[in-house]
């Protein structure tokens, strides 16, 4: 709950979407002891999930490279979660 409260505080403090999303992935990775955390956003056409924020060096490089996943990609756990609207 403390992590959720801190993420909420970050959201209230930042008006910049990129800064907010970066804070969320970094906090999530750190507080839950994950090796990696990412946030994808659906593009305007509804066809691709665009990596908006990634924790750690690999995540940052993937964001910089414009990593995306096709929503129709059934081999992707991320795409399947997005389509099913379930974690």
Q: How many domains does the chain have?
A: 1
Assessment of whether the complete model's pTM goes beyond 0.85: no
CA–CA separation, 61 vs 57, rounded Å? Answer: 6
Domain extent, residue 28, equals: 2-84
Q: Which CATH number fits the domain that encloses residue 55?
A: 3.30.450.40
pLDDT tens-place string over residues 35-83: 889 999 999 999 999 999 999 888 999 999 999 999 999 999 999 999 9
Given a cut of 90, whether residue 4 has pLDDT beyond it is: no
Confidence tier at 8 by pLDDT (50, 70, 90): confident
Q: HSE (CB half, 13 Å, CA atoms) of 55? A: 18
């Amino acid at each position: 709950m403390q992590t959720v409260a801190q993420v909420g505080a970050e959201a209230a403090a930042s008006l910049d979407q990129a800064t907010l999303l970066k804070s969320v992935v970094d906090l999530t990775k750190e507080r839950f002891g994950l090796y990696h955390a990412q946030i994808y956003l659906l593009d305007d056409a509804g066809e691709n999930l665009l990596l908006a924020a990634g924790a750690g060096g690999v995540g940052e490089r993937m964001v910089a490279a414009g990593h995306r996943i096709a929503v129709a990609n059934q081999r992707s756990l991320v795409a399947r979660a997005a389509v099913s609207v379930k974690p």
